[in-house]
C-alpha cells in the first residue's frame, strides 16, 4: 500500500526474526513501520522504514522515543518484557494500550496473579512468595518437589526444581546473588502441560488454539526443558470448555476488551484444569505454528488491534478443534561450549521436510546456556497431515540433529517424545 507522511507511524517493539513478518505486513497495510529494541543487528530492522536501538526497560528512554519519533500506534507482543515495556510506554505517552496498569500488575507479578486466581476460584498449584534469604520455616505447608523461580522473572531463566526445603533454600541463596529479592516457590505439577492462545474481542475471550507443551526431563534439580510444542493438542476437546471459562473469567476480572491473552495450564485425566500463568501477549517462537496449522495469522490480529479494526471479524469461522493440519516446533537447547560443525546440522531439518528452521549460532560462535544466551541452539517447524506422521518426523529430527565440540562431545541436550 502507498505510504505518505500522513500514514500512521507504528512502533513495533522487537527486531528479532519472529518480528520480520509483522514488520512486512505492517508496511503492506500502509503503516510506517518503526522497529526498536536493544539488538542492533536484529533481522527485522532490514524490513522496517526506520529502526532504533534502545533499552526497552528504560521507561524514560521509551517515552523519549515515542515522542521524538511522533509515534501514533504501538505493538508489543511475543514476550513478557516487551508486553510490559510497551504497555508502560503507551500509558506514559497517551497511546492506545491493550490493558490498564492495574491489569498489567496482575499479569506480571506472579504473587498478584495467584491472588487473582484465588479470587476467581481458578485452581492452581499451591505456592508461597518468600524472601530469597528465607529459611525452611518459610516453606512449611508446601509439598515437594517444588519449582523455585524469581517472583518477577521472565523467559524461564533462573528456575530450578527442588526436591526438599534445603535444596530450595540453597537455590534461593543463588537467586539472591543474582540480584533477586523475592522468590515464588510452587508445588511441581506433573500433569500434561498446555499453551492456550486466546484473543479477547469486544470483551469475549475466543480460543485461538490449545497446544501440547512437551518437555524432556534433565535430571534431579533441573527444570525439564521444552523440547516440542504441538498444534493442536491431542487433548483439546477434553480441556477446552473448562479452560475457556477460566480465560473469560480472567478477561472479565482484568477488564480486557480487545487484547491478546495467553494461558499456560496443566491437566490430568479425571482432574480439573490447573492454571499456571496468564499473559497479556502472544507466545513467541511458536505463534507461527498457529498460522501453519489453522491459517489464522497472529500478525493480522495484532495489526487489526493497533489500527482500531474489529478483530472479532477475523475470528469468525475459526474453530480451535478443527485444524486442517498438525504442526510442531522442535527446540534444541545446549550444554554450552564451542561448536565446530554447526554448518552440517541443518541437514536434519531438510531431511525431515521442515517447514522452516533457524540456527541461532554461527560456525565459530560460543554457545551459552541460560540467561544472556540465545533462546535455543536451533528450532524447526514441522508440518504433517496427522499427529502420527508429525511424531515420525519429530523422532527423525531428534535422532539426527547433532552439534559436537572439538573433542566430539555432544553439546545438544537430548530431546524425547513423551509416552
Which pLDDT tens digit goes with each residue over 85-97? Answer: 999 999 999 999 9
pLDDT at 411: 86
Of the two residues 138 and 339, the one the predictor is more confident about is: 138
Mean pLDDT of 109-132: 92
Q: Are residues 293 and 247 in the same domain?
A: yes
Asked whether the CA dihedral 25, 329, 201, 254 is positive or negative, the reply is negative
Q: Are residues 350 and 376 in the same domain?
A: yes
C-alpha to C-alpha distance for 88 and 59, rounded to whole angstroms? 7
Q: Are residues 217 and 179 in the same domain?
A: no
pLDDT at 408: 85
pLDDT at 367: 79
pLDDT at 312: 94
Whether residue 221 lies inside any domain: the answer is: yes
Tens-place pLDDT, residues 338-377: 776 677 778 889 888 899 998 888 777 787 765 556 768 8
Tens-place pLDDT, residues 209-262: 999 999 998 766 667 889 999 999 999 999 999 999 999 999 999 999 999 999
Cβ contact 411:405 at 8 Å: yes
Please state, for a pLDDT cut of 70, what percent of the chain lies above it.
95
pLDDT at 347: 85
Ramachandran region of residue 370, left (φ > 0), alpha (ψ -120 to 50) or beta? Answer: left
Q: Are residues 332 and 390 in the same domain?
A: yes
Whether residue 119 lies inside any domain: the answer is: no
Domain of residue 230, residue span: 191-320
Mean pLDDT of 29-50: 97
pLDDT at 370: 55
Last residue of a domain, one of 150, 165, 187: 187
Mean pLDDT of 284-298: 94
pLDDT at 154: 56
Q: Are residues 288 and 367 in the same domain?
A: no
Q: Tell me, what CATH number does 131's domain have? A: 3.30.1490.20
Mean pLDDT of 168-193: 90
pLDDT at 372: 52
Cβ contact 87:236 at 8 Å: no
Q: How confident is the model at residue 166 (pLDDT cuts 50, 70, 90)?
A: very high
pLDDT at 4: 64
Last residue of a domain, one of 152, 187, 222: 187
Cβ contact 348:330 at 8 Å: no
pLDDT at 268: 96
pLDDT at 2: 52
Q: Are residues 349 and 307 in the same domain?
A: no
Whether residue 180 lies inside any domain: the answer is: yes
pLDDT exceeds cutoff 70 at 332: yes
Q: Tell me, what CATH number does 408's domain have? A: 3.30.70
Mean pLDDT of 105-116: 92
Tens-place pLDDT, residues 268-286: 999 999 999 999 999 988 8
Q: How many domains does the chain have?
A: 4
Tens-place pLDDT, residues 403-417: 888 888 888 899 999
- Count of CB atoms situated within 10 Å of the CB of 67: 12
Q: Are residues 250 and 142 in the same domain?
A: no
pLDDT at 117: 97
Cell triple for residue 248? 473469560
What mean pLDDT is reported for the chain? Answer: 91
C-alpha to C-alpha distance for 109 and 106, rounded to whole angstroms? 6
Mean pLDDT of 316-327: 96
pTM: 0.90
Q: Tell me, what CATH number does 88's domain have? A: 3.40.50.20
Q: How confident is the model at residue 16 (pLDDT cuts 50, 70, 90)?
A: very high
182-187: strand order across its sheet: 127-131, 182-187, 146-150, 160-162
Mean pLDDT of 285-314: 95
pLDDT at 352: 87
**Rounded (10°) angle between helices 101-108 and 80-93:** 160
In this structure, are strands 182-187 and 146-150 parallel, antiparallel, or unpaired?
A: antiparallel
pLDDT exceeds cutoff 70 at 131: yes
Q: Are residues 148 and 170 in the same domain?
A: yes
Amino acid at each position: 500500500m502507498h505510504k505518505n507522511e500522513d500514514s500512521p507511524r507504528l512502533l513495533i517493539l522487537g527486531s528479532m526474526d519472529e518480528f520480520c513478518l509483522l514488520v512486512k505486513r505492517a508496511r503492506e497495510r500502509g503503516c510506517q513501520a518503526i522497529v526498536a529494541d536493544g539488538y542492533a543487528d536484529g533481522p527485522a530492522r532490514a524490513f522496517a522504514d526506520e529502526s532504533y536501538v534502545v533499552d526497552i526497560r528504560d521507561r524514560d528512554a521509551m517515552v523519549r522515543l515515542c515522542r521524538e519519533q511522533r509515534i501514533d500506534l504501538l505493538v508489543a507482543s511475543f514476550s513478557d518484557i516487551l508486553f510490559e515495556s510497551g504497555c508502560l510506554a503507551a500509558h506514559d505517552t497517551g497511546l492506545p494500550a491493550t490493558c490498564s496498569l492495574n491489569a498489567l500488575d496482575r499479569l506480571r507479578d506472579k504473587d498478584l496473579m495467584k491472588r487473582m486466581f484465588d479470587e476467581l476460584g481458578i485452581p492452581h498449584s499451591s505456592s508461597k512468595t518468600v524472601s530469597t534469604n528465607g529459611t525452611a520455616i518459610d516453606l512449611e505447608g508446601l509439598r515437594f518437589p517444588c519449582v523455585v523461580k524469581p517472583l518477577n522473572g521472565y523467559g524461564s531463566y533462573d528456575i530450578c526444581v527442588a526436591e526438599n526445603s534445603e535444596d530450595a533454600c540453597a537455590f534461593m541463596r543463588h537467586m539472591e546473588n543474582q540480584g533477586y529479592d523475592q522468590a515464588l516457590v510452587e508445588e511441581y505439577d506433573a500433569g500434561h502441560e498446555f499453551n492456550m492462545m486466546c484473543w479477547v474481542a469486544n470483551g469475549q475471550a475466543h480460543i485461538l488454539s490449545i497446544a501440547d507443551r512437551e518437555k524432556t526431563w534433565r535430571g534431579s534439580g533441573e527444570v525439564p526443558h521444552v523440547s516440542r510444542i504441538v498444534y493442536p493438542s491431542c487433548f483439546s476437546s477434553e480441556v477446552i470448555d473448562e479452560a475457556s471459562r477460566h480465560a473469560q473469567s480472567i478477561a472479565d476480572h482484568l477488564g480486557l476488551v480487545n487484547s491478546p491473552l495467553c494461558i499456560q495450564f496443566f491437566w490430568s485425566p479425571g482432574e480439573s484444569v490447573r492454571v499456571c500463568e496468564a499473559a497479556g501477549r502472544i507466545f513467541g517462537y511458536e505463534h507461527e505454528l498457529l498460522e501453519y496449522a489453522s491459517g489464522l495469522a497472529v500478525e493480522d490480529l495484532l495489526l487489526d488491534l493497533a489500527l482500531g479494526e474489529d478483530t472479532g471479524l477475523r475470528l469468525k469461522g475459526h474453530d480451535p478443534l478443527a485444524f486442517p493440519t498438525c504442526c510442531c516446533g522442535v527446540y534444541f537447547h545446549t550444554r554450552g561450549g564451542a561448536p565446530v560443525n554447526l554448518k552440517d546440522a541443518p541437514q536434519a531439518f531438510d531431511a525431515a521436510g521442515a517447514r522452516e528452521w533457524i540456527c541461532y549460532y554461527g560456525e565459530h560462535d560460543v554457545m551459552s546456556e541460560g540467561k544472556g544466551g540465545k533462546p535455543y541452539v536451533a528450532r524447526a517447524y514441522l508440518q504433517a497431515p496427522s499427529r502420527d506422521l508429525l511424531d515420525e518426523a519429530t523422532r527423525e529430527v531428534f535422532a539426527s540433529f547433532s552439534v559436537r565440540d572439538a573433542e566430539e562431545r555432544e553439546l545438544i541436550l537430548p530431546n524425547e517424545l513423551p509416552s
